[in-house]
Chains A and B, each alone.
Chain A
C-alpha cells in the first residue's frame, strides 16, 4: 500500500538563500485563488493580502564584529504530530490530514486567534482584512495530486525536498551524516524524531548545524504555556465543578437526615 504520510525537509546547509521558495509559495497561493475561488487572473496578481505568503524569512544576527553570524531562517508551519493549534481551536477549524499536513479551514475559522496563542512555534498569523487566521498548508492539495510542494518545486539547489515521510527522513539523515563528516560538527534533523511529547515529530523537518539551532528557530523543548495553562484550568475547573456537585449531594443528604430537628424546617419557624 502506498504510504500516505508525506513530509518536507528544509536543508539549511544546501540553501543558497535565493528565496525562490517564498516567491513560488505566493505564486501557488494566487493560483489557488484562481482554482478554488474562481478569482480572475489579473485580480489574483493584484492581491496584496498577507495570507498569500505562507513562507516568511526571519533574519537574526549574533556575535561581535568581526565575528558576526547572520542567519536568514525560513519560517513556516512545522505540521506537528500533535498540533496544539488544532487542540485549542474552538471552531474545530484545524485538522491533521493523512498526509501529515495541518490545515485551517477558512470557512470554519472564526478568527479567535487561539491557535496563535497555542502554537509553540508562533506560526499562525491573523489577517485583519479577512478576519481569519492563516498558515502554511504544506501544499496538501498538491501532495494529494502527486505533485511536490511549491517551495520544493521552486528550490534550484534541492535544499527543500519532499516525498513520503520515510523517504524524506532517510534522505535528511543521510545528508546530516555527510555534513558532519565534511564540516566536522554536529548536524540535526529537527523533527525527524519526536521533538518532545508536546508536539511530537514534525512533517516539515529542518537540517541545521546544531550550533545554529537557535537562529533557525528550532527549540529543543517547544512548549506552549498558554495551551498547557488552558488544559490545566479546564481539567481543574471540571474537577472543581464535580467536587462542588458532590459536596452539595452530601449536604443535601445531611439536611434530609436532620431536617426534622432543624429550626429551619417548618415554614412557621421561618
Chain B
C-alpha cells in the first residue's frame, strides 16, 4: 500500500457517537412499530406482553404488549430528539461545508453535474474502479442523505401529531397516520440499501472509520474520494 502514513478524519467522535445511537434507536423504532403496522408482527407484541401480563394479570397479552410497544416507541423518539441536540448544534453552524452538499465545479451546470456523478457512481459500484471526482459521498449518497433527513423530519412531525392526536383535527391525524406509514416504508427501503452498501467491501475503509477510529489513510482517501482534494 502506497501510504504516506498521514490520516484524515472522515467522522468526528460526535458523529460516530450519534451514528451508534441512531442504530439502536432504529432497531427499537422498527421492533416497536412493526406490530402496529401488521398483525404478522404481533409475535413481537406478544413476547413483550407475556412478562407484563404475568404480573399485571392483563386480559389480553398481545394488547398489553402493543401498549408497551407504543410507549417504548415514544420514549425512543424522545431519546432520539435529546441525542440529536448536540449533533444539530455541532453541525448546523457548518452547514455550508457539509460533505453532503452537492458541489458543482466552477461553470458546471446541474445536468453535467448529475451526469458526471452518476458515471462516477457507476465506476465504483458497477465497474469496481476508483472514481474520478467523487468527494466524501457519491451523488446517490448525497440524494439519499437529504431524502433521509426529510423522512426523519416527516416521521418526527407525524409522530408528534399522532402522539398528541387529541389536540389536532381528525383530518390532520388521518393524513399524518398515512404519512407516518409511508415514511416508515421509505425508511426501511433506505436502510436495506444503506446497510448493504455500508458492509460492502467497496466501503470497507468507510465502515472501519465509522465504527473504529473515524479516520482513513490519506493515500486511500485520495484514490477513493478524489473530490476531497480537488
Contacts and interface: CB of A to CB of B under 8 A. Distances in A.
A41 interface: no
User: Dominant SS at the B interface?
Assistant: helix
A117 B177 CA distance: 9
Given A110-B70, A268-B1, A263 B129 contact: yes
B63 A109 contact: yes
Interface string A85-119: 00000111100000000000101111011101100
A258 interface: yes
A116 B173 CA distance: 10
A185 interface: no
Interface in A234-270: 234, 236-237, 240-241, 244-245, 248, 251, 254-255, 258-259, 261-265, 267-270
B20 to A, nearest CB: 23
B125 interface: yes
Contact of A110 (B63, B184, B223): B63
Contacts of A265: 128, 201
Given A108-B62, A248-B196, A263 B130 contact: yes
A132 B111 CA distance: 54
Nearest to B41: A90
Contacts of A181: none
Nearest to B170: A116
B166 interface: yes
Contacts of A230: 177-178, 181
Interface residues of B, number: 43
B67 interface: yes
Interface in B28-69: 35-39, 42, 59-60, 62-63, 66-67
B136 interface: no
A241 B66 contact: no
Nearest to A116: B170
A236 B182 CA distance: 9
Contacts, number: 105
A107 B204 contact: no
Contact of B128 (A114, A117, A126, A261): A261
Contact of B36 (A90, A93, A236, A241): A90
With most chain B CB atoms within 10 A of its CB, the pick from A107, A126, A254, A263 is: A263
Interface in A202-242: 225-226, 229-230, 233-234, 236-237, 240-241
Contacts of A4: none
A234 B38 contact: yes
Contacts of B60: 105, 107-108
Interface of B: 1, 35-39, 42, 59-60, 62-63, 66-67, 70, 125-126, 128-130, 165-166, 170, 173-174, 177-178, 181-182, 184-186, 188-189, 192-193, 196, 200-202, 204-205, 220, 223
29 contacts: A90-B36, A90-B38, A90-B39, A90-B66, A91-B63, A91-B66, A92-B62, A105-B60, A107-B63, A109-B63, A110-B67, A110-B70, A117-B174, A225-B174, A226-B174, A230-B178, A233-B185, A237-B186, A244-B189, A244-B192, A244-B193, A245-B192, A251-B196, A259-B128, A259-B201, A262-B201, A263-B129, A264-B201, A270-B204
